[in-house]
Copies of this chain bind each other. A is one copy, B any other.
């Protein structure tokens, strides 16, 4: 049995010397032209093939440099069943390359339905007494609106396979506050969620002192990030919104604990769309953008 999710994550961050997560969010219009040309055609199966090729080539570039990748399920789902095949190939290859994987699919439901989502992403689906892997990610993202009993199947699946769960706490969009900032008992709603996440994380701590339940907290809200960091010392933060969405290295620095651990900073477009589509040497640009992202985050 592999070790605790947070211990594996901390070890990967230490081994690579940085906490950068590369978001695999392919969009047709930003793919290299040479990839688009090879998969030209008017149906979504071609798009899915292009996403697979692009994602797999991104993995080869970033695997020596970063500890984690985060495929965005939505773009693969938008290609239909063929897209899900592409997603599976990318997740499998990432593991072969020693990368940790966070499946960003923001799932949520109740009871056996939540269990189906959770087991598909993490522990594998139980069929005739055997667990069959589906996406086999190290962690997934989930939405907290339905409450702990609906989150329980995700925790159980994670704990069965030493996986992890990242709960949306404060999202990176401009309008995140419409509901997340509503005050209840003098505290914003996202803080109620954050405090619940801290409790769930505390149920199963790794040797590194972090739990297997993390929090998604956008880089675009540095004040909230600092407040949550202080309140949730045992929670690993997954921080989207760096780069293309406007968050700077300074903005994300409060996400880290004083030991330099405790956060994973995601960059998607800043890395995987860091070249003009006509650039034949786009993988060189991706490597350069990855190194620059790492450097920027190491001296905020």
Contact B184–A44 (Cβ < 8 Å): no
Selected interface stretch from A74-82, A258-266, A274-282: A74-82
Selected interface stretch from A115-123, A203-211, A228-236, A249-257: A115-123
Asked if A174 CB lies within 8 Å of chain B CBs, one says yes
Contact B180–A183 (Cβ < 8 Å): no
Question: Which of B43, B72, B132, B144 is within 8 Å of A179, CB to CB?
Answer: B144
Contact B81–A88 (Cβ < 8 Å): yes
* Min distance, Cβ A228 to any Cβ of chain B, angstroms: 16
The chain B residue sitting closest to A119, CB to CB, is B78
* Min distance, Cβ A20 to any Cβ of chain B, angstroms: 20
Contact B75–A116 (Cβ < 8 Å): yes
Question: Which of B74, B114, B143, B148 is within 8 Å of A117, CB to CB?
Answer: B74
| Mask of A264-297 contacts with B, CB within 8 angstroms, 1/0 | 0000000000000000000000000000000000
Contact B110–A108 (Cβ < 8 Å): no
Contact A113–B80 (Cβ < 8 Å): no
The chain B residue sitting closest to A28, CB to CB, is B127
Given contacts A127-B47, A185-B183, A192-B182, contact A84 B80 (CB under 8 A): yes
Asked if A3 CB lies within 8 Å of chain B CBs, one says no
Contact A193–B174 (Cβ < 8 Å): no
How many angstroms between the C-alpha atoms of A85 and B106 in the bound complex? 22
How many angstroms between the C-alpha atoms of A148 and B84 in the bound complex? 28
How many angstroms between the C-alpha atoms of A172 and B128 in the bound complex? 29
How many angstroms between the C-alpha atoms of A176 and B176 in the bound complex? 21
How many angstroms between the C-alpha atoms of A285 and B20 in the bound complex? 55
| Mask of A48-84 contacts with B, CB within 8 angstroms, 1/0 | 0000000000000000000000001011011111101
* Min distance, Cβ A220 to any Cβ of chain B, angstroms: 10
Contact B168–A149 (Cβ < 8 Å): no
Asked if A171 CB lies within 8 Å of chain B CBs, one says yes
Asked if A177 CB lies within 8 Å of chain B CBs, one says yes
